[in-house]
Amino acid sequence: METMALEAQVYSALTSDSALIALLAKGTKSIFHLQAPGDNSARYPCLVYSPISDVPALIGDDIEVTHRVTIRIHVITLDGQYNVIYRNINRIMSDLGFMRVQTTQYIEDSQKMLIIDYRIGVSSEWQQ
């Protein structure tokens, strides 16, 4: 499976989960790929998801058999109340087969974020 197809699966799962969408400021319009817009609209809390790595995991006969993809999700808030959002994201990503790798809290420009990395191993048949 290609990384772009995996990203599409993640986006679809996040935007179709009514429990998660209800927790975001503007529903599905609060989920962004790679980067949130730079405007100052009242859109918090919001999510930003992006692939941060795609590396070979298993090689046989000089051919990549599987690869590991890590998707990073930023939960961006102003008040730091991201625990319920995090639990919903974790459920969604686990259902897709991802494993949580790490979680980090971060503050920048009065935004309080939870940064979560999820990893999955997938077939590389598309490369052959």
Return the structure tokens found at 47.
Answer: 């999510």
Full DSSP string of 57-98: EEEETTEEEEEEEEEEEEEEESS---HHHHHHHHHHHHHTT-
pLDDT of residue 126: 61
Confidence tier at 59 by pLDDT (50, 70, 90): confident
Per-residue pLDDT, 37: 80
pLDDT: which is higher, 73 or 59: 73
Judged by average pLDDT, the poorest of 38-52, 82-96, 102-116 is 38-52
What pLDDT is recorded for position 1?
A: 74
Predicted confidence band of residue 53 (pLDDT cuts 50, 70, 90): very high
**Could you report the per-residue pLDDT of 5-45, keeping only the tens digit for each?**
999 999 999 999 999 999 999 999 999 999 988 776 668 99
Three-state DSSP at 33 gives: strand
The residues, ordered by sequence, that sit 6+ positions from 34 with a Cβ below 8 Å of its Cβ are 48, 50
